[in-house]
Structure 1
Amino acid sequence: MAARLLILFIALPILELYLLIKIGGAIGFFPTIALVLLTAVIGSQLVRRQGLTVLSRIRESQARGEMPALPMLDGAALLLAGFMLLTPGFLSDALGFVLLVPGLRQKIARRLLSRVVIMQPAGGANERYAGRGQHSRPNPNAVIEGDYERGKSGDGQRDPASPNADDNSERTGRNDGA
């Protein structure tokens, strides 16, 4: 995997430079620069508009209590598209504009989601998304086990009503009276 990424980070810039030189030789230096800047400006405006749409879809799915996985991947693809469109080069611009096609972007996101295994914890902070996208309610009959120990009273002295007021230091391992 690391070798593939290394090849990608070496080969892609070389290919971008080759295309810039070839296109610059065919249409000229200034038209090439103008074309690269134009694709960056048009692409950034398209990414901004589609990004606001995706953001509203994320908010809507959260309001329904659903996990916004598909809209989040859609937004990540838009972020990648914006990065590619701002990178100078024609190959990256082409890939960025491909990612701006909503149907294709959502198809890619669905395919990625189908390959991911989502494991939900048995309980905890993410429990609100457990089970068919509905918020789960805490069980009113749940029993929480724990230890209770009387500590200091409000004035900093040990509470004389505590049955083991002298034994607290042995149980807690402290001598500070807590």
Structure 2
Amino acid sequence: MAGVTRRRPWLVWVLVALFVVVPIVEIWTIIQVGQLVGPWWTILLLVLDSILGSWLIKHEGSRAFRALREALNSGRMPARELADGALILIGGTLMLSPGFATDAVGILMILPFTRPLFRAALTRVVASRLTVMGAPASGLGGFPGGFPGGFPGQARREPSAPPGGGPVVQGEVVDRDHPGR
């Protein structure tokens, strides 16, 4: 049965937390801050918090994008840079939403000295969801040398030229341990 999906009971609880518990916590926090410092100061704090969040998103987002470009230009896999970009995006979304609790979590995701904690958690979640498969013999995605045209900024080589630049020798690989392969 290809159309049958596996039930995920934990997803229901995550959605309940996102759409019921988080708004209740935010409203309670705003009321507590309002009783402590007054309504106008509370509104001012929420506005200043969003302005700080916008500045942090711009600053840290541009740093993450530069790091991503450097990784791609050097030809290495930008796993850390992509995780940082995702965390900045999620943290920025939390910072722009009104409320003190989501802003606190958002700022922790954006700041460079607390982001590694969230990156480790994100890595564990993503790694638990992935199925590891071996790459085909011809490279990533079935393309010789990896992706078509290589990584951005990577020098292209002719298919007939070996990596060392020497002469091309035609031949056949024979595996004596596994005949018939």
TM-score (norm 2): 0.66
Using a 3 Å threshold, how does the CA distance of structure 1 residues 110 and 2 change in structure 2: closer, same or farther?
A: closer
Q: Distance in 2 between matches of 1:26 and 1:128?
A: 59
Q: CA deviation at 1:101?
A: 2.2
Residue segments in structure 2 that go unaligned for 5+ positions in a row: 1-9, 161-169, 172-181
Match in the other structure for 2:14: 5
Quick one: percent identity of the two aligned structures? 29
Superposed counterparts of 1:88-167, under 5 Å: 88-113=98-123, 116=127, 117=130, 118-119=132-133, 121-122=135-136, 123=139, 124-125=142-143, 128=146, 140=160
Alignment equivalent of 2:75, drawn from 65, 70, 92:
65
Match in the other structure for 1:154: none
Using a 3 Å threshold, how does the CA distance of structure 1 residues 61 and 90 change in structure 2: closer, same or farther?
A: same
Question: Does 2:85 align with 1:75?
Answer: yes
Q: CA deviation at 1:42?
A: 0.9
Alignment equivalent of 1:23, drawn from 33, 48, 65:
33
Q: Which amino acid aligns with 2:36?
A: A
Q: Distance in 2 between matches of 1:84 and 1:60?
A: 28
SS at match of 2:63: helix
Which has the greater radius of gyration? Answer: 1
What per-residue deviation string (whole Å, max 9, x for no partner) do you get for residues 28-70 of structure 1?
A: 1111111001000011101111110110100000011111111
Q: Which amino acid aligns with 2:69?
A: R
Q: CA deviation at 1:120?
A: 5.2
Residue segments in structure 1 that go unaligned for 5+ positions in a row: 143-178
RMSD, aligned α-carbons: 3.0
